């Protein structure tokens, strides 16, 4: 099946940003949404916490803006923060219209919880599985709209540029993308006057990550290869509390556990004895400090004491309170033999969110005409040097809508896609060395974790840079000789994004927010973005 001529807008990614944009656009245009795997496989469905918005009496936009700026260590663009925060309440209203069953107090008031870095209760949520509820509601709305077509198992390879046209025009813009159809094994050219990247982040660049399997930085890598700038790629957020379990990988323990009174403890030497509550040694806000502070504190104590994990304990709260607020976590951990109403949870930090990405403006526009980006793939200026909890889903709705509205407003200026050259496989063969792909995937994730993790040094970053260059050469040679597969496409993107992260980290000669380097522990007087140009 080919999807080459009948759609006005191509959206790559089927999470909160992509579907929000699709629903807005579908009022006037035919939209094609591509998913790399299943429609629901992206990061949105994994989000446990909630969505931040000023809804509590006494809370203000200024307060939410200030909390975001403080968490972002001054690297945020204030106009972006104001834009997102001021649009948050209407985003919540829209989600309610789509049928998201947010928790309530009584019959009317939304239940608001508090998370680290927030000065007020402003997190709306659906128990501890907000993302899944949002994903379901957006998919229902999209499925009900005849102007939206959602196609799973389409792996984007590269953006279509002027050089890919049968008759190049000289116009430097994006006309769609080439995508591998996993059902047929063929690469198809998909064209549209406008393309939106909503591909998520690059979490799987790291060995330990709470991100889903498909978070391999595809949109960032494709946009970079096409000529778009990227920004602040060194700002990789590590969630402080991922379940430590040798059998169950990457299960996140939501920020809200600390927001509702959970304590971080150094495990006691004797079972049944209370552990030491250590966060007071690092920050007056204790467990409610921003994520970068908490993650570094846990990392410090684990390394200092030679621990495998620390404890997160909420068992001092009434059992019904714990089960009522965290039913998903309670059931999951009970299945692993951990009763969180009676005992602490073993936790370690893990990569959690890509704060940098493809540079966009307030309308979601990238450097390349015809190409927009929204959500974790982008660097809008909202998060700065550290994402404030529960601002990420919010960014998806606000910028998905902003990109869609800009396309609607400027539709008459959009160009009709010219004819595109078909994908050329005349000089490649099927690979007989899949072990190369798997080995290099593992190697990237291992050295990125060891050398470009929570605490960095110049020497470790330089080692990582040398390995990235060697792998990039090897992967490009492999890519040029063998027919593309989903794994090879992802590996190529992982190498690209790993290089961007390392280059950005080497460029920043200070410690700010999520980027902490022992060689430059101080904060510079002026906050400046790390901007990379192709």
In a domain, 475, yes or no: yes
Please tell me the predicted confidence (pLDDT) of residue 426. 79
CB-based burial of residue 459 (10 Å sphere; 0-12 exposed, 13-18 middle, 19+ buried)? Answer: exposed
DSSP string, 346-358: EEEEEEEEE--EE
Q: Which residues, in sequence order, are bridge partners of residue 9? A: 31, 194
- For residues 24 and 372, give the distance between their C-alpha atoms in angstroms, rounded to a whole number: 15
CATH of residue 454's domain is 1.20.58.100
Would you say residue 165 lies in a domain? no
d(CA 294, CA 386): 12
Find tokens 């104001």 and name the residue: 82
Q: Which of 316, 336, 351 is the last residue of a domain?
A: 351
Residue 263 placed within a domain: yes
Within-domain flag for 451: yes
Binned at pLDDT 50, 70 and 90, residue 292 comes out as: confident
1 has a pLDDT exceeding 70: no
CB atoms within 10 A of CB 472: 15
Bridge partners, residue 31, by sequence: 9, 148
439 and 347 in a common domain:
no
Neighbours of 219 (CB within 10 A): 32
Q: Considering the domain boundaries, does residue 182 fall inside one?
A: no
Average pLDDT value for residue range 382-399: 95
Give 386 or 246, the one with higher predicted confidence. 386
> What distance in Å separates the CA atoms of residue 69 and residue 79, rounded to the nearest whole number?
11
* Any domain includes 197: no
**Is residue 473 helix, strand or coil?**
helix
In this predicted structure, which of 31-45, 299-313, 344-358, 415-429 has the lowest mean pLDDT? 415-429
pLDDT at 88 over 70: yes
Q: Hey, which residues are catalytic here? A: 291
pLDDT higher at 296 or 216: 216
Q: What pLDDT, on a 0 to 100 scale, did the predictor assign at position 334?
A: 96
Asked if residue 6 has pLDDT above 80, the reply is: no
How high is the mean pLDDT of the chain? 93
Task: For residues 24 and 154, give the distance between their C-alpha atoms in angstroms, rounded to a whole number.
Answer: 23
Q: 423 falls in which pLDDT band (50, 70, 90)? A: very high
- Give the tens place of pLDDT for each residue, 476-494: 998 988 899 999 999 999 9
**Residue 233 pLDDT grade (very low, low, confident, very high; cuts 50, 70, 90):** very high
Q: Looking at the domain assignment, is residue 386 inside a domain?
A: no
* Residue 424 pLDDT: 87
> From the CB of residue 300, how many other CB atoms can be counted at a distance below 10 Å?
15
Treating both helix axes as pointing N-terminal to C-terminal, what angle do 16-25 and 392-409 enclose, rounded to 10 degrees?
Answer: 30
Q: Check if the beta carbon of residue 262 is closer than 8 Å to that of residue 314.
A: yes
Provide the domain limits for residue 305: 238-351
Domain boundary among 305, 321, 351: 351
**pLDDT digits over 29-57, tens only?**
999 999 999 999 988 988 877 999 999 99
CATH number for the domain harbouring residue 297: 3.90.700.10
* Section 334-360 average pLDDT: 95
Binning pLDDT at 50, 70 and 90, where does residue 3 land? Answer: very low
Min mean pLDDT across 2-6, 152-156, 206-210, 220-224 is at 2-6
Decide if pLDDT at 5 tops 70. no
Of the ranges 65-69, 292-296, 525-529, which one carries the lowest mean pLDDT score? 292-296
Structural domain ending residue among the three candidates 309, 335, 351: 351
At 433-480, the pLDDT tens digits run: 778 888 999 999 999 988 999 999 999 999 999 999 999 999 999 898
Q: Report the domain count for the chain.
A: 2
Q: Classify residue 376: in a domain, yes or no.
A: no
């Amino acid at each position: 099946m080919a999807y080459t001529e009948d759609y006005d807008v191509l959206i790559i990614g089927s999470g909160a940003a992509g579907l929000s944009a699709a629903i807005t656009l579908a009022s006037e245009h035919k939209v094609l949404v591509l998913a790399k795997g299943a429609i629901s496989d992206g990061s949105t469905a994994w989000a446990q916490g909630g969505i931040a918005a000023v809804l509590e009496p006494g809370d203000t936009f200024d307060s939410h803006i200030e909390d975001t700026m403080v968490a972002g260590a001054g690297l945020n663009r204030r106009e972006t923060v104001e834009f997102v925060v001021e649009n948050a309440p209407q985003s919540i209203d829209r989600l309610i219209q789509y049928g998201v069953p947010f928790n309530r107090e009584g019959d009317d008031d939304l239940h608001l919880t508090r998370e680290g870095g927030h000065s007020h209760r402003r997190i709306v949520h659906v128990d501890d599985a907000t993302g899944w509820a949002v994903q379901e509601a957006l998919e229902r709305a999209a499925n009900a709209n005849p102007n939206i077509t959602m196609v799973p198992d389409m792996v984007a390879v590269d953006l279509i540029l002027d050089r890919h046209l049968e008759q190049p025009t000289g116009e430097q813009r994006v006309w769609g993308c080439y995508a591998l159809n996993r059902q047929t094994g063929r690469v198809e050219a998909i064209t549209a006057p406008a393309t939106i990247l909503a591909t998520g982040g690059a979490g799987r660049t790291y060995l330990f990550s709470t991100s889903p399997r498909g978070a391999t930085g595809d949109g960032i890598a494709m946009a970079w290869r096409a000529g778009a700038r990227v920004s602040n790629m060194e700002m990789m957020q590590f969630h402080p509390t991922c379940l430590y379990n040798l059998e169950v990988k990457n299960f996140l323990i939501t920020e809200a556990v600390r927001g509702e009174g959970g304590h971080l403890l150094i495990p006691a030497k004797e079972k049944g004895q209370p552990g030491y509550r250590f966060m007071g040694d690092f920050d007056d806000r204790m467990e409610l400090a921003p994520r970068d502070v908490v993650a570094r504190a846990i990392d410090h104590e684990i390394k200092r004491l030679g621990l495998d994990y620390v404890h997160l304990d909420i068992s001092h709260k009434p059992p019904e309170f714990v089960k009522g607020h965290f039913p998903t976590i309670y059931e999951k951990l009970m299945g692993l033999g951990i009763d969180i109403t009676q005992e602490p949870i073993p936790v370690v930090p893990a990569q959690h969110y890509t704060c940098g990405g493809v540079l966009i403006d307030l309308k979601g526009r990238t450097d390349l005409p015809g190409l927009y980006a929204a959500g974790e793939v982008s660097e809008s200026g909202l998060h700065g040097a550290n994402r404030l909890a529960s601002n990420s889903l919010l960014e998806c709705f606000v910028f998905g809508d902003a990109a869609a509205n800009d396309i609607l407003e400027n539709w008459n200026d959009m160009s009709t896609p010219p004819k595109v050259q078909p994908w050329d496989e005349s000089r490649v063969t099927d690979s007989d060395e899949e072990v190369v792909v798997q080995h290099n995937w593992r190697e990237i994730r291992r050295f990125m974790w060891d050398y470009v993790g929570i605490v960095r040094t110049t020497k470790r970053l330089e080692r990582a840079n040398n390995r990235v260059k060697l792998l990039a050469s090897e992967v490009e040679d492999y890519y040029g000789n063998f027919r593309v597969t989903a794994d090879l496409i992802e590996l190529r993107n992982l190498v690209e994004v790993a290089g961007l992260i390392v280059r950005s980290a080497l460029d920043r000669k200070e410690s700010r927010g999520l980027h902490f380097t022992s060689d430059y522990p101080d904060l510079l007087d002026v906050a400046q973005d790390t901007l990379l140009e192709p």
